[in-house]
Amino acid sequence: MRKGGKRKSTSQKQETEVKASSSSQENQKENHKLASQAKRAKTSKPQPQLEYFEDKRNLEDLWKAAFPVGTEWDQLDSVYQFNWNFLNLEEAFEEGGRLYGKKVYLFGCTEPQLVPYKGENKVICIPVVVAVVSPFPPSDKIGINSVQREAEEIVPMKQMKMDWVPYIPLENRDSQVDRLQSQMFILSCTQRRVALKQMKIDRLKKYEYCLPYFYQPLKEDELEQSTEVQIIFPAAQKPVFCEFDWELDELDEFTDQLIEADELDKDKKDAFKEFVKERVREAKKANRQAREARKKALEEMSEETKAAFVNMRFYKFYPVPTPDTPDVSNVKAPFINRYYGKAHEVL
């Protein structure tokens, strides 16, 4: 009986040891599992947050692509300091818009204006885009004129490294340009800003006095009707700047008034009068030649071309208001320049 009891006791002890060993292994596995989870949690990298960017609009950079003709080189950066929005221009090319399906030539310009921005009035160089609806380029020339220059120059665009080039919308930029039948052309300038330091001052200033040129043969030019001449008479102290109207002004009286106002030395009276007479002769000759050229152009012009000039339209686009840009809504004006005159519509 005792021997049998001893075997039973030993058997129970072994069973207890087996259970304890099994429990210990399970605990070890659980601890290992928890340790692994803790390690993974500790070493796992945080998931980066996804960033969302707005898709670029198809014509978003159209206003930047059109060179701002006549803008001083050192003012270009100030034009682009704001993220101007020309959504009105972009929408004009969409179905139902004013420019949809039409051949359009676009050029840029700038207008310094006093406008409100962030609670105060500031002089801002406002970008403007002019769209010309025409079946052919409105002109291949550029006018160079300013108060400081004695004579106006009309030169080929290419002389100033400017030309009409196709504008390629964003969605088509992977295509070959020559295969695209572009209906949009921009006035582009290939003059590199880095080369300006080597440029002569007179040449450099010409860019600042540039104006997109346009000649309307069906309408008598204002210059053909004008009886005024710009006078810049060289003098030792300072040049004499004035305007003389050969129909309204009497030369002797006009000259005496300048002397009385200390604008002209008395001993320069005769020289000044001869200078003015020469300028008047040049202006009358230019007016006569312009009338003759217009008459000849009309005689040689086809009916199709005449119709194109009749139907040609000018649209002037200003930036639309946004929270990040100055409000230009109160400074919009239809005047483009002395050659184009006024826009048919301002937007």
Contact residues for 82 (Cβ-Cβ < 8 A; gap 6+): 124, 324, 325, 326
Domain segments of the chain: what residues? 61-216+313-346, 218-300
Task: Give the C-alpha distances (Å, rounded to integers) separating 186 from 80, 83, 122, 189, 200.
Answer: 18, 20, 30, 10, 27
Percent of the chain residues topping a pLDDT of 70: 75
**Mean pLDDT of all residues in the chain?**
78
- Residue 316 CB neighbours (<10 A): 21
Cβ proximity of 301 and 217 under 8 Å: yes
Instruction: Check pLDDT > 70 for residue 198.
Output: no
Q: 100-155, pLDDT tens digit by residue?
A: 989 999 999 888 888 888 888 888 888 999 999 999 999 888 888 765 555 677 88
Q: 327-336, pLDDT tens digit by residue?
A: 888 889 999 9
How many helices (H) does the chain have, and how many strands (E)?
Answer: 9, 13
Mean pLDDT along residues 6-13? 47
Q: What band does 319 get if pLDDT is binned at 50, 70 and 90?
A: very high
60 sits in the region (left: phi over 0; alpha: psi -120 to 50; else beta) called: alpha
79 vs 195: which has the higher pLDDT: 79
Mean pLDDT along residues 10-26? 51
Q: Residue 65 is which amino acid?
A: A
Of 3.30.300, 2.60.40, 3.10.20, 1.10.3470, the CATH number of 218-300 is 3.10.20
Task: At 157, give phi and psi (nearest 5°).
Answer: -55, -40
Tell if the pTM clears 0.75, that is, is over it: no
> Which candidate, 106, 205, 128, 111, places its Cα nearest to that of 160?
205
Task: At 331, give phi and psi (nearest 5°).
Answer: -120, 10
Residue reference for tokens 């014509």: 59
Q: 229-282, pLDDT tens digit by residue?
A: 888 888 777 788 888 888 888 998 988 988 888 888 888 888 888 988 988 888
